[in-house]
Amino acid sequence: MSKMIDRPSGLGAQPTPAFEEQRRRWEAASAKGRSRKDPGSGAVDRTISDVPLKVIYAPQDVADIDLAEDLAWPGEFPYTRGIHPNGYRDRLWTMRQFAGFGTAAQTNERYHFLLEHGQHGLSVAFDMPTLMGYDSDAPQARGEVGKCGVAIDSLADMEVLFDGIDMGDITTSMTINGPACIALAQYIAAAEKKGIPRAQLGGTLQADILKEYIAQKEWIFPPRPHMRIIVDMIEFCTREMPKWNTISISGYHIREAGSTAAQELAFTLADGFAYVEACVAAGMEVDSFAGRLSFFFNSHIDFFEEIAKFRAARRIYARHMREKYGAKDPRSWQLRFHTQTAGCSATAQQPENNIVRVAFEAMAAVLGGTQSLHTNSMDEVMALPTEKSVEIALRTQQVLAYETNVTNVVDPLGGSYYVEALTQEMELQAESYFAQIAEYGGVIEAIEAGFFQREIAEASYRYQRSIETRDRVIVGVNAFVKEDEPANIDLLKITEETERGQAASVQDLRSKRDGAAVQRGLERLQVACRDPKDNLMPHLIDCVNAYATLGEIVEAMASVYGRYTERAVL
Amino acid sequence: MNERPLRVVIAKAGLDGHDRGAKVIARALRDAGMEVIYTGLFQAPEQIVQTAVQEDADGIGLSILSGAHMTLFPLVVEQLRAQEAGDIVFFGGGTIPPEDAKRLKDLGVREIFTPGAPLQTIVDFVTRECGKRRTPEPAA
C-alpha cells in the first residue's frame, strides 16, 4: 500500500494504479540485484556523512513536504529555493579567491594580479602569528611568519597591503577571528588615511570565535569575554558601517576538522543563533543587525548531500529567525553564504586530480545557491598555491558560470525526490543537534564540556576508517594508485628572509613611532575592556592609528581578559 | 619489561591549530594497542621532548600543517640531542612538500607522512621502528 498523502499541497503526487504496478515490478527486480564487491562499494548505501540512502527516491519519500510551507519560491520564505527571485540571472556569485602570503607587499602584488584577471573581490589570508595575535618578532612566531598567509603587524602593513587598490570600490573579506576587531580597526584606519570614510567600506569580517573553540583552534581570549568583543563589533558596524557584513559564521573549519555535513550545518547555525542571542541580550533589536550576518560553508565531494545541506541551511535559518527570534524584516530571515571547496578532500597524490574534485564541489555550491565562492588550487595540500594553479581555480569558476548553463534556471534540483528528501533529512538532523546543545545549556557550555570536539573527532575517525577499509575510494590514494609518482609540480616557497625582514620592520616601526601615544592608547583600551558599556572599537582604532602593533594590543587586552587554554579531547 | 605496550607521544607544535590528523593518528595507534599521549596544541619543541622523556616514550609523532615544518622539526631533533633522547623514534606528518620531507629525513626525522598516507602504513611503521627500540641489536 502506498503512503497516504495527508496534504493536498504535498510535493509527492497521489500515485495512480499504473504507477503502483510499476513500483511493484521495480521492487521485485531490485530485490534480485547482486551488489558490487569492488573497492568503494562498501559505502554505496550512505552518504559521505553516513546518512543512509535508498536505491531510489520516489513520490512517497517527499509526500509530507509542503509546497508552500517547505519549498515556496525563490526569494520567498523559507528560501529553500534561494534568496533571490531570479537566482543567478540577475547576478552571478562573487568569485572571491582567498589569498595572502609572505609580506604585505608580496600579497598586494597577488591582489593586483587577481583583480586584473577578473576577480570581483579580495579575501585576505593572514599568517598564523597574526591570527594568534603575535607580532612577527615574537618567539612564538618562529618559522610561521608569512607561511599560511600574510603577516600584518600594524597599520603600516595594512597600508601596504591595499596600496594602489581603491578600498571604496572593492569589497574585502578578512579571515581572522581572535584579533578580528584589531584587523577591522586597521582596515578602517588604512581606508580613512586614503580619504575613504568607513561608511563606504564594503566587505566581510569572519570574526566567528565560537567555531575557533569548536574546530579551528585559533583563539586568544576565553569565550565569555570574547562574546562581548563580538557584540561590540556588531554594534559598532551596525551604527557606522552600513555596507559591512559584521560576521561570517563559519562551518568550513568545522567540516575540515572532520565533521559530517549535518554537524557542519547544525554547529554553524547554532553558533549563529548564539551571536543573535548575545546581541539581543545586549539590547539590540534583531532586525537592526541580522540582515548583515553571513555564513561560510564547505563544499565537500558528496555532491547531492552538499546541495541538500545548503538548501536546508536557508530553510532552518529562516524559520528560526522569524519564529524563534521574532525578526520581521525579510532580510533578517535570509541566509547568505560564501562557500569554499573542501581542502580536506584534496590529495597530495596525483595532485592534478584536485582540479576535477574542485570543479564538482564548486558546482554543488552553485546548485546550492551560494553568494560567493572560493575554489581551491590543486597544490594547496602541499603548499601555498602558485599563480598558475590559482588561475586554473578561478577559470574553473568562470567555466561553471559562463559555459555549463547551470546558472540559467533557479534551483534546478528543486523538486528532485532525492534532493528534497535529503534536504529534509539534513533539517531533522540539525534540529536534533540543536536539542542536544540546548541540554548542555548553550553553545559555550557545550564547548566547555567538549561536546563538539568529541562529536567531530568521532566522525573524522569513522570517515578515516572507511578509507582504510576501502569501503570508500579516494582516487590515487587507496585505489588507482600510481607507483613512483614523480613529484614534479612547482610549489611556492616562503623564504626565511621574509621572517627576518618582517621582524626587522616591526622593530623599526616601534623605534620610530610616538611611544607615549601608543602607551596612552593601550591604557585607555584596557579601561574600556573593564567597562562593558564602553564600545571597544573606537579605542582600537585610536591604538591602531598610533601604530600600536597587533601583539601589543592583544597583550593589553589579554591582561584584562586572560588567555584561553583547551582541555584536549581525543 | 618488553610486556609494556609501546608508548608514543603525538604532538602539535607552534601556532598550528589543525589537529584533525594528529587526533586520527592518536586514535589509530591506540586502537592498535599502543599507549598514546596527545600533547594538545601549541607545544614548544622543548616541552614535547620533555614529555616524551618523562613518559619514557618510544616515539614522537609531530604534526604540522602550517608550513613551519622546516623550523619546528629541526628544533625537536635538536632537543632530542640536548636531552640525550636520540633513541626516541621521531616521525611526523602534514602539508610537507617532498623535497622538504627529504631534507628533514636527512636531518634525522625517521619518516614523514603526507595527507592521504594510510593509517595502517603509519601504524606498521610505528610498531616496527618503536619495536626495534625495545629490542636493541645485541652488542657486537
Q: Is residue B100 part of a domain?
A: yes
> A147: domain CATH number?
3.20.20.240
Q: Is residue A60 part of a domain?
A: no
Containing A373, the helix (H) or strand (E) segment is strand A372-374
Q: Is A79 in the same domain as A167?
A: yes
Q: Is residue B89 part of a domain?
A: yes
Q: Which of A116-130, A231-245, A302-316 is least confident?
A: A116-130
Q: Is residue A159 part of a domain?
A: yes
Other residues' Cβ atoms within 10 Å of the Cβ of residue B46: 14
Which residues of chain B are within 8 Å of residue A143 when distances are taken between CB atoms? Answer: 14, 68-72
pLDDT recorded at residue A4:
46
The torsion angle over the Cα atoms of residues A360, A362, A366 and A372, rounded to 10 degrees, is: 180
Q: Residue A1 pLDDT > 50, yes or no?
A: no
- Cβ(A224)–Cβ(A443) below 8 Å: no
pLDDT recorded at residue A2:
39
* Domain coverage including residue B74: 7-132
Nearest C-alpha in B relative to A463: B24
pLDDT tens-place string over residues A553-567 = 999 999 999 999 988
Per-residue pLDDT of chain B (140 residues; tens, 9 = 90+): 457 999 999 999 999 989 999 999 999 999 999 999 999 999 999 999 999 999 999 999 999 998 899 999 999 999 999 999 999 999 999 989 889 999 999 999 999 998 878 899 999 999 999 999 887 666 54
A210 vs chain B: nearest CA distance in angstroms? 14
Which residues of chain B are within 8 Å of residue A379 when distances are taken between CB atoms? Answer: none
Q: Is A410 in the same domain as A552?
A: no
Mean pLDDT of chain A: 94
Q: Is residue B139 part of a domain?
A: no
Q: Does A481 touch chain B (CB under 8 A)?
A: no
CA distance A294 to A316: 14
Q: Is residue A32 part of a domain?
A: no
- Work out the pLDDT band at A348, boundaries 50, 70, 90: confident
Q: Residue A491 pLDDT > 80, yes or no?
A: no
Q: Is residue B140 part of a domain?
A: no
Mean pLDDT of A159-176: 95
CB contact under 8 A, A144 and B38: no
Q: Is A438 in the same domain as A506?
A: no
Domain boundary among A420, A451, A468: A468
Nearest C-alpha in A relative to B36: A570
pLDDT recorded at residue A380:
87
A467 vs chain B: nearest CA distance in angstroms? 8
pLDDT recorded at residue A364:
98
Q: Is residue A406 part of a domain?
A: yes
- DSSP-based three-state secondary structure for A173: strand
Q: Is residue B101 part of a domain?
A: yes
Q: Which of A175-184, A382-391, A414-423, B125-134 is least confident?
A: A382-391
Q: Is residue A475 part of a domain?
A: no
Domain boundary among A416, A449, A468: A468
Q: Residue A141 pLDDT > 70, yes or no?
A: yes
pLDDT recorded at residue A192:
98
Nearest to A457 among B14, B23, B97 (CB): B23
Nearest C-alpha in A relative to B114: A348
Q: Is A500 in the same domain as A376?
A: no
pLDDT tens-place string over residues A186-203 = 999 999 999 999 999 999
A525 vs chain B: nearest CA distance in angstroms? 26
Q: Is A126 in the same domain as A272?
A: yes
Domain boundary among A418, A448, A468: A468
Q: Is residue A287 part of a domain?
A: yes
Which residues of chain A are within 8 Å of residue B22 when distances are taken between CB atoms? Answer: none
CA distance A139 to A409: 54
CB contact under 8 A, A147 and B26: no
Q: Is A449 in the same domain as A344?
A: yes
Pairing between β-strand A337-341 and β-strand A122-125 as defined by DSSP bridges: unpaired
CB contact under 8 A, A382 and B97: yes
* Domain coverage including residue A303: 69-468
Of A382, A379, A294, A304, give the one whose Cα is nearest residue A339: A294
Nearest to B23 among A134, A216, A570 (CB): A570
CA distance A323 to A334: 13
Ordered alpha helix ranges (H), B17-118: 20-31, 45-54, 69-82, 98-107
CB contact under 8 A, B119 and A464: yes
CA distance A17 to A2: 10
Q: Is A424 in the same domain as A507?
A: no
Q: Is A288 in the same domain as A146?
A: yes
CB contact under 8 A, B24 and A461: yes
Q: Residues of A numbered 138-167 whose beta carbons fall under 8 angstroms of chain B's beta carbons: which are they? A: 140-144, 147-148
- Work out the pLDDT band at A486, boundaries 50, 70, 90: low
Ordered alpha helix ranges (H), A403-450: 417-440, 443-448
> B21: domain CATH number?
3.40.50.280
Q: Is residue B93 part of a domain?
A: yes
In Å, what is the CA distance from A496 to each residue of A177, A325, A433, A502, A507? 26, 51, 46, 10, 17
Q: Is residue A8 part of a domain?
A: no
A125 vs chain B: nearest CA distance in angstroms? 13
Q: Does A491 touch chain B (CB under 8 A)?
A: yes
Q: How many domains does chain A have?
A: 2
pLDDT tens-place string over residues A354-411 = 999 999 999 999 999 999 999 999 998 877 888 899 999 999 999 999 999 999 999 9
Q: Is residue A507 part of a domain?
A: yes
ipTM value for the complex: 0.85
Mean pLDDT of A521-549: 97
Mean pLDDT of chain B: 92
Q: Which of A319-323, A337-341, A485-489 is least confident?
A: A485-489
DSSP string, A184-251: HHHHHHHHHHTT--GGG-EEEE----HHIIIII----S-HHHHHHHHHHHHHHHHHH-TTEE-EEEE-
Q: How many domains does chain B have?
A: 1
